Chains A and B, each alone.
Chain A
Amino acid sequence: GDSVTQMEGPVTLSEEAFLTINCTYTATGYPSLFWYVQYPGEGLQLLLKATKADDKGSNKGFEATYRKETTSFHLEKGSVQVSDSAVYFCALLIGTGANNLFFGTGTRLTVIP
C-alpha cells in the first residue's frame, strides 16, 4: 500500500549547520509530496510541496526535490536556526478522492545556539 518512511529522530544540530531529513515513499500511482512542520503546541503547517517528478519545493530556506527514480523527497536546509526547532512530517497525497494524505512518523529537530 501507499506509505511514507521517514528518518527517525531526534536530530540535534548546532545553529548554522546543514540539515537533511530523509523521506522515501511507496505509492501505487503518482503522488504529490509534502513536508509539514509542527512547532511546539501547535498544529501542522505546510512547509513545501512538489506535485510531480523533478519538481523542487522550497520555502523559508528549506528545499526538497521529488525524485521518482529513488522514490525520495529529502528535506534540506543549508543553515538551520534555533527557530527551526520543530517536528517535521513528510507526507504523500495520492488521487483526489477521500482522504488519502499519508504521513510519516515525524522527525524532531532541535537546533542549539
Chain B
Amino acid sequence: GAVVSQHPSRVICKSGTSVKIECRSLDFQARTMFWYRQFPKQSLMLMATSNEGSKATYEQGVEKDKFLINHASLTLSTLTVTSAHPEDSSFYICSARAGEGQPQHFGDGTRLSIL
C-alpha cells in the first residue's frame, strides 16, 4: 500500500530553536498533505492543510508564523516549528492524499520534546 515517511521520528532540542519535520510520500504523488498534532491521550487535531504549490490553510487557533508549512513538491511537505517552547512538545503526524476523494495515508509521527 501507499507509504508516507516522516522524519525524524523523535527530536529533542532546546527552547528557542527551530525544528523541521519532513513528510514524504514514497510511492505516490500527494497533491494534499495534512499536519496533525496529538496531545497525550487525546485525538488528532488538524493543524493545517497544504496543497502542492500553494499556501497552507491553517485551522483556527494555529499560528501560521509559528508553524511554517512548505509543500514545494508533490512528494514532500515540511513543517517547521519556529522558536520552539516547551508547550510545543507534542506528537506531530502528517498524512498525504493523492487527490480529492482519495484516502489519507499517515506517517509514523514525530515526537517533539522541547527542553
Q: Which A residues are within 8 Å of any B CB, using their own CB?
A: 36, 41-46, 49, 89, 96-99, 101, 103-106, 108
Contacts and interface: CB of A to CB of B under 8 A. Distances in A.
A108 B41 contact: yes
B42 A106 contact: yes
A45 B106 contact: yes
Nearest to A101: B104
B10 to A, nearest CB: 9
Contacts of B49: 98-99
B100 A96 contact: yes
Size band of the interface chain B makes with A: 20 to 34
B100 A44 contact: no
Contacts of B107: 43
Contact of A46 (B9, B43, B103): B103
A49 B104 CA distance: 12
Given A97-B100, A99-B34, A99-B46, A43 B41 contact: no
B100 to A, nearest CB: 4
A108 B42 CA distance: 10
Contact of A42 (B34, B101, B108): B108
Given A41-B111, A43-B93, A89 B43 contact: yes
A93 B45 CA distance: 15
A32 B9 CA distance: 30
A43 B109 contact: yes
Contacts of A89: 43-44
B57 A98 contact: yes
A36 B95 CA distance: 13
